[in-house]
Chains A and B, each alone.
Chain A
Amino acid sequence: MAPILRMERINKQYPGVQALADVDFSLEPGEVRALLGKNGAGKSTLVKILSGAVKPDSGTIHINGEAATINSPRDAFELGICTVYQEMSLVPGLTVAENILLGRWPTRRQLGVSVIDRREIRRVAQGALDQLEVTLDLNELVSRLNVAQHQLVEIAKAISFDPRVLVLDEPTSALPSEEVEVLHKVVRHLAEQGRAIIYVTHRLQEIPHVADSVTVLRDGMHIGTIPVEEAVPERIAQMMIGVDWRRTEYLRDSQAGEVKLSVKDLNREDVLHDISFDLYAGEVLGIAGLLGSGRTDLLRAIFGLDPIDSGEITVDGSLVSDPSPITMKAHGVGLTPEDRKLQGLVLPFSVRQNLTLASLDRVSNRGVLRRRRERSLAEKMVKDVQIVTPHLDARTETLSGGNQQKVVIGNWLNTLPDVLIMDEPTRGIDIQAKEQVFNLVRDLARRGLAVLFVSSEIEEVLDVSDRILIMNRGRITGEVRCDEVDIETLLALAMEEIEND
């Protein structure tokens, strides 16, 4: 069969990064292709090129044997390529039918005025849903639907363009397990209609259920395309990691001491299930899990940012009955949040003010700030965590990402915590800053701090931790010691789904 989509020698360069290097990619009608790769492997760039969001530097694209150029999302639509992104693009205040035809509502003339033809909207929208073979109330407001139904509306919206190629970007990452099956059925059904589907995913378990073949990208290169029968977790992990990756050995000479933080049977509906673990002084405990595994939810629950349904959180032997940032801080627990700009910093504040945000009680006396003390504390922290700033009173928003991250960490170190929870401390910062953060983390452990470390880069978790918990769909599904595990095994473990009991 002739390929419906053929991409050849696609190159795309961003400043400092070769996002795609000579990538060949082709699809046949009726084929579901799983697209895998770590963060930054080039998956999203490939998807964006197909959807017209970015232009390749070089390379050719053929659709149905004809040379095609995709300069805009509109071109992509006209060539029959539709993309459903992770982020929802629905309008909550409109109905299912209105969303499926968003911005393309048919009109009719009534009393000389052009009005929206609701009946026609419903007819066309129903047609799209019929192709998916799902039932949804067309008149329901999207705000009243659950995540899985949102996803179906998104796909119906794409199908209403009658695409030949449908791109689904991590469609199941936010779905609860029982809904995943429905989505797989829809995808298979659409493939049977002769559409080619690119299915970006992290979940190995679902691949046999949905895909015919698997393509793995790494560092912008096409590593290989294999039939689904050969796509066992170990093989995939090997392809994703490659042979040239080497573990960075950080000095792990810290001694695990007593239990600092103990979590028992933590539950939060749909998000966290029976989470129990202990965190010891002087150790770095990593959490390896994919997007949607519940790793951030776990940290938020411990820090009292989200309510929990049941479970116990004990710090230093004393039970925390009402976890909140204030009580956790009082117990000597700190959290550096995943989004430094939205959750970690007050951007208009100076570096000094951000460094003492959580420790104002240490730099004040009866509610009055001791400005010299604040300055010296901030100054010391700037040296300790190596923040590069023109001066202490520089606005924090003028700093680089890595230095902003160090300010967030410094803010919590100034509270003299026993336990530091770090959510994605290396997101969006350069390699040099990353290394500084890792060295800092190891150094903190050496000084007796208990560190809980989360990163979406699984290699980083392995590099920096002493012990790793594997998280999957809100459960802890395993625990490994870092000196006993290699990266391929760890990645395979994190990607494996545990069948629901």
Chain B
Amino acid sequence: MIETAEAKARPMPLDQARTFLSRSGLLVGLILLFVLLALFAPNFLTTRNQLNVLRAVAFNGIIACAMTFIIISGDIDVSVGSAVAWASSLLGVLAIKQGWPLWLAVITVIAQQTVVHGLAGYIRCKWNVPAFVVTLTLFMSLRGAARLITNAYPITPFPDEFNFWGGGYVAGTIPVPAIIMVVTFIIFHFISTRTVFGRWVYSVGGNEESARLSGIPVWRTRILIFAITGLLSAFSGVILSSRIMSGSSNIAEGLEFDVIAAVIIGGTSLAGGEGSIFGTFLGVLFIGLLSNGMVLLGITPFAQEVVRGLTILFAVLISVWQKPIRK
């Protein structure tokens, strides 16, 4: 057909261009923010500050990869902050109070959260309980469990060498968590764009019924996405413990909403089926720079929260305005 011949002649189709534009919209915003902060925020441009921003966003960034999959698949997970605290507390109890070898404690913590979240995914599919409800349960009970086993006191001390993962540097300057985050993003970008599983995630969120009728294992996809979220939350909890060098039940409060915000700012649609890991990466950086800049500018924490909140609305409005009006 003539039409397909044309396809080859047009390397940048309209839709791709539009996708690029909506992404670059965020990119432009990010650059703008960067320039503004460079001009007005003291010490913003120093290497040290830049690397600090990267480390600060790493813990959220890692989880944001999984959250992107959750939201693309049309679900939501509000439990990741509690999962981080639970992972940290459990790590402290197992490695310090129980005296387990550190590596075994780490593996156990990550494995159990993978299973717990996988189970949440199973419950969501089997009884069609909204993901919000299932993860709200986890949000409350994991935080509670964390305080229960620690009496809400931080557990110390971890062996000194453990500090490398959350507080260490490679080549003397680059924070280890930042590297871990970037690697995670690369892996998830690959999964989302180049693998069958990635395609499953998008199709389940884009139209679950069509996916099911096409023989795509909808349950397996959803359960896997939840399991991955548990895995990355616990993993992030482990390196956060390494950063603060204690097992603590009081960390990561409100983290879930920062993560969800980053994903939404990154252009992923809450309706499911659309979004990208790259967009989330930009979203994470955007929030990180904004927070950092506001600290440097001396804006009070309460005002910072107001600004961050409004940013989410603004980002979503921009993406709504960019979309062509559908018939």
**Residues in chain A within 8 A of chain B (CB atoms):** 303, 305, 325-326, 328-330, 335, 337, 342-350, 353, 357-358, 360-361, 364, 367-369, 371, 379, 382-383, 386-395, 397, 411, 415
Contact = CB atoms under 8 A, between A and B. Distances in A.
Contacts of A389: 3-4, 7
Contact of A347 (B7, B197, B207): B207
A329 B217 CA distance: 12
B6 interface: yes
Interface stretch (B8-16, B51-59, B63-71): B8-16
Nearest to A357: B214
Given A342-B207, A346-B203, A383 B1 contact: yes
Contacts of A357: 203, 210-211, 214, 216
A346 B273 CA distance: 8
B225 to A, nearest CB: 15
Interface in B117-174: none
Contact of A360 (B15, B199, B207, B273): B199
Contacts of A343: 207, 209-210, 213
Nearest to A352: B7
Given A337-B213, A349-B203, A369-B195, A394 B326 contact: no
Given A326-B215, A357-B203, A397-B326, A391 B13 contact: yes
Interface in B1-34: 1, 3-4, 6-7, 10, 13-16
Interface string B271-284: 00110000000000
B196 A391 contact: no
A326 B14 CA distance: 35
A308 B52 CA distance: 60
Interface of B: 1, 3-4, 6-7, 10, 13-16, 194-200, 202-203, 206-207, 209-217, 273-274, 326
A358 B215 CA distance: 6
Given A382-B1, A390-B6, A348 B212 contact: no
Nearest to A326: B215
Given A326-B217, A344-B213, 10 more contacts: A342-B209, A346-B202, A346-B211, A357-B203, A364-B195, A369-B194, A371-B194, A390-B6, A390-B14, A393-B16
Contact of B199 (A330, A353, A382): A353
Chain B interface main SS type: helix
Contacts of B207: 342-343, 345-347
B188 to A, nearest CB: 14
Contacts of A344: 210, 213
A346 B209 CA distance: 9
Nearest to A346: B206
B199 A361 contact: no
B196 A361 contact: yes
A393 B206 contact: no
A374 to B, nearest CB: 9
B273 to A, nearest CB: 5
B206 A347 contact: yes
Nearest to B216: A357
A369 B195 CA distance: 5
A160 B223 CA distance: 51
Contacts of B3: 382, 388-391
Contact of B4 (A353, A358, A379): A379
A485 B24 CA distance: 63
B13 to A, nearest CB: 5
A393 B13 contact: yes
27 contacts: A305-B213, A325-B213, A325-B215, A326-B217, A335-B213, A337-B213, A346-B207, A346-B211, A348-B274, A349-B273, A357-B211, A360-B200, A367-B196, A367-B197, A369-B198, A382-B4, A387-B1, A388-B3, A389-B3, A390-B3, A390-B10, A390-B13, A391-B6, A391-B10, A393-B7, A393-B13, A394-B14
A309 B326 CA distance: 43
B206 A349 contact: yes
Contact of B15 (A329, A395, A411): A395
B214 A325 contact: yes
A382 B198 CA distance: 24
Contacts of B1: 382-383, 386-388
B4 A383 contact: yes
A411 B198 CA distance: 18
Q: Which 8 A-B pairs have the closest CB atoms?
A: A391-B7, A346-B206, A329-B215, A358-B214, A325-B215, A357-B214, A346-B207, A360-B196
A401 B209 CA distance: 19
A342 B196 CA distance: 22
B268 to A, nearest CB: 12
Nearest to A403: B3
Contacts of A337: 213
A389 B213 CA distance: 24
Contacts of B15: 350, 393-395
Contacts of B197: 367
Contacts of B13: 390-391, 393-394
A476 B217 CA distance: 33
A128 to B, nearest CB: 37
Given A329-B215, A348-B206, A390 B7 contact: yes
Contacts of A303: 213
Contacts of B217: 326
Contacts of B326: 397
Contacts of A367: 195-197
A379 B214 CA distance: 19
A378 to B, nearest CB: 10
A335 B213 CA distance: 8
B4 A369 contact: no
A330 B14 CA distance: 36
A330 to B, nearest CB: 8
A288 B160 CA distance: 77
A305 B211 CA distance: 12
B210 to A, nearest CB: 5
Nearest to B194: A369
Contact of A368 (B195, B202, B210, B214): B195
B208 to A, nearest CB: 9
B125 to A, nearest CB: 14
A349 B206 CA distance: 8
B196 to A, nearest CB: 5
Contacts of A397: 326
Contacts of A395: 15
Nearest to B274: A348
Contacts of B194: 368-369, 371
A369 B274 CA distance: 19
Nearest to A344: B210
Contacts of A388: 1, 3
A397 B15 CA distance: 12
Contact of A392 (B4, B203, B212): B4
B223 to A, nearest CB: 15
Contacts of B209: 342-343
Greatest chain B CB density within 10 A among A328, A337, A360, A415 is at: A360
Contacts of B214: 325, 329, 357-358, 411
A368 B210 CA distance: 22
Contacts of A411: 214
A76 B167 CA distance: 76
